[in-house]
Chains A and B, each alone.
Chain A
Amino acid sequence: MKFTNFIQSAKEYLRLHDFEKSSKKKSIKSLLKKLRTKRKEIKKSIKEIEKDEHLQELQEELDIVCMQIKKGKELLKELQDA
């Protein structure tokens, strides 16, 4: 058996090809958790804010965070389906 083939079989046996995928899933989940907390914080600030100028800024941040959460969910789904 060639050395590369041996490595390949060892990887398959130890299910190491899944390692990268599961590590990515873990990263996405961790980021989603942080982003959800951020979204909560921004929503809370929006309720408490008085100045219009800051409201616009917070609204923009909320849109960005929501978009990032959406992207994260899609990525996670792709990984789970693959």
Chain B
Amino acid sequence: MLHYLVLPVILSLLAYGFWISPNFKEIASGVAIFLFGMLFLEEGFKKFSGGVLEIVLQKSTDKLYKSLFFGVIATTIMQSSSLVSVLTISFLGAGLIGLAQGIGIIFGANLGTTTGAWLVAGFGLKVDIAAYAMPMLVFGIVLIFQKSRNLNGVGYILAGLGFLFLGIHYMKEGFEAFKATIDLASLSVAGVKGLLIFTAIGIFATVVMQSSHATLVLIITALAAGQISYENALALAIGANVGTTITAIIGSMSSNIEGKRLAAAHLIFNAVTGLIAILLIHQIMFSVDYLSSVLGIAEDDYTLKLAVFHTLFNTIGILVMLPFIDNLVKFLERAIGVKEDGEEKTIDTVKYLNDSVLEFPTTLMSAIYKETRHLYENAFEIIANGLNLKSRRIVSSADLDEVIKDVYSNTPVDMDDLYNRKIKGIYGDIIDYATKAQGKFPAEKIDEIYAIKLANRDIVEALKDTKHLQKNIIKYAKSKNSYIRDEYNKIRKNLAEVLRNINIIATTDEEDVMMLLLSKAKIHAKQNDVLTNGTLDELIRSRLITNEMATSLMNDSTYAYNISKNLVAMAEAIFIPKTSDIKNIDNHMIINEEDIKTMMEEKAKIEKEVQKQEKTEKKKEES
């Protein structure tokens, strides 16, 4: 009951806020535009999934030191750690990078942002990227309307960045009133109390102004004017470092669970770094004095000493946190899990089917197709998680061996619950509407409706088979027997390949690619079956696995085969456009069971001949 009231209450509060304060209206619209920009950015990066950007990102973030370096460079160029963290959240949201890589970039961004202090303190420079917002929006929108996937992606990214900057601009404008009221001199206090107060002011000022850069300018100005003491300025810098995480937190609101985890990692890192700096303030100040004398910075040049401090305490933070990255990832996966995510608990319903589409047969057919794709999207997520894989990693171009190492969760997902919430209702409605549709179409269309019904059944069957598989996947993932562990990982890898190929088929418009991948998936399903390829016999004969393991593997291999078979059949029916040449010849050019048999027989024949030849050569050599 309560959740029905939440939305009207929020809307009413917002409306009241807009009425009484134009500043609040500006801030709220800034947040809205910022979030809209985030959505655009994610959409843009998704277009590059499997493309050049992904390869570049993967190559430049595949090792921890590389992702750190990437963060430092990107932030130095963009002069905004907030923007780099928001972009990193988008990369994560689009599945271009993993959480550990994202954390590496964030750590690097914290170090990169210190170059800002050097620029401001040393040269008084500041790169105002917000000035590019309008041209970015215009170029972005023009490119969005282009047919080319790459141009379209660039358009979304440009427009996303434009909206992002515009959002930040409005937020800043709205907070101008607050800024004018900040008089640091009146708050100047000495000792620990002053340290804590100014850290809190630093946090507040950065949250308000949405920029640690702006806070730093404020600090340096106040310090240069003698409004605050050097110690107070250091505390403000610590606070600014913590406060800057707010942008990433806002950015993660429209992102998926991985984005939320990254924003939390950002907050944890900056908070821990800030805590260390507060606890060791005297030691750090001593080090700053020493380093400054080495660098030839005058003793009373506090602005440059502030830049040294900023760099030093962020470096200390990175050095302290680096050994704990894996623990941090594990902690975040536990703390911000699927169960805690409220939106994951909702019941999904049909998106495209309603009584009005029943009146128009063509619309109805199109709605049933779209709804089946919607059902598959949900099923894809559940199957991936059931196999203990991350769906975003599957659709990336990451090496599949790496994808299977990156497990989704250490505890099994509740597949029955997910089925009830994400599949059952939609499946029931599709079948209901498809049955109603049968009465409205001529006889030749009935076959098409029947094929859609079968495709839906295939999706559900694949889900049920995954549920059977899931138990042993979890069980044998921790087995001490490396042979059975490897076999189950092979099953996961093969199914990840099927899911990845179906995703490519669903998104490409190149018919030769569709045909090749569908045929490949069919062949692999057959080849990977441990019963037919002789793996099981070999494992049993060599006594490498127990009888219980053999029975499990035999059953689960059959489940895996059926999952592949059902998903490929579904993809053939749903993801090949009706207007394509492939459909026009009723999929006859895609390889079928008989062709696979012929191909496998030919392959076996060649292998036999090669073996025979090798034997003869060996005999000859021996004689």
Listed in ascending order, the chain A residues whose CB lies under 8 Å from chain B are: 23-24, 26-28, 30-31, 34-35, 37-38, 60-61, 63-65, 67-68, 71-72, 75
Contacts and interface: CB of A to CB of B under 8 A. Distances in A.
A56 to B, nearest CB: 12
Residue among B523, B585, B599 with the highest chain A CB neighbour number at 10 A: B585
A57 to B, nearest CB: 9
B512 A30 contact: no
The 8 A-B residue pairs with the shortest CB-CB distance in the complex, in nearest-first order: A27-B581, A27-B584, A34-B512, A38-B512, A64-B519, A31-B581, A30-B581, A72-B589
Interface in B549-593: 581-582, 584-585, 588-591
B520 A35 contact: no
B520 A31 contact: no
Contacts of A68: 515-516, 519, 589-591
B595 interface: yes
A71 B582 contact: no
Contact of B589 (A23, A61, A71): A71
Contacts of A24: 584-585
B131 to A, nearest CB: 45
Interface in B15-31: none
Given A63-B599, A67-B591, A71-B589, A31 B515 contact: yes
A72 B599 CA distance: 16
Contact of B588 (A34, A65, A75): A75
Contacts, number: 57
Nearest to A25: B585
Q: Is the interface of A mostly helix, strand, loop or mixed?
A: helix
Nearest to A28: B585
B520 A28 contact: no
User: What is the interface of chain B mostly: helix, strand, loop, or mixed?
Assistant: helix
Interface of B: 510-512, 515-516, 519-520, 523, 581-582, 584-585, 588-591, 595, 599
Most buried by B among A28, A61, A67: A67
A44 to B, nearest CB: 15
B511 A75 contact: no
13 contacts: A24-B585, A31-B511, A31-B585, A31-B589, A34-B510, A37-B512, A61-B516, A61-B520, A67-B591, A71-B589, A71-B591, A71-B595, A75-B588
B341 to A, nearest CB: 38
Nearest to B524: A60
Contacts of B582: 27, 31
A63 B527 CA distance: 15
Contacts of B510: 34
A35 B595 contact: no
A64 B591 contact: yes
A60 B520 contact: yes
Contacts of A27: 581-582, 584-585
Contact of A65 (B516, B581, B584): B516
Contacts of A34: 510-512
A64 B588 contact: no
Contacts of B585: 24, 27-28, 31, 75
Nearest to A78: B588
A75 to B, nearest CB: 6
Contacts of B515: 31, 35, 68
B520 A23 contact: no
Contacts of B511: 31, 34
A34 B519 CA distance: 16
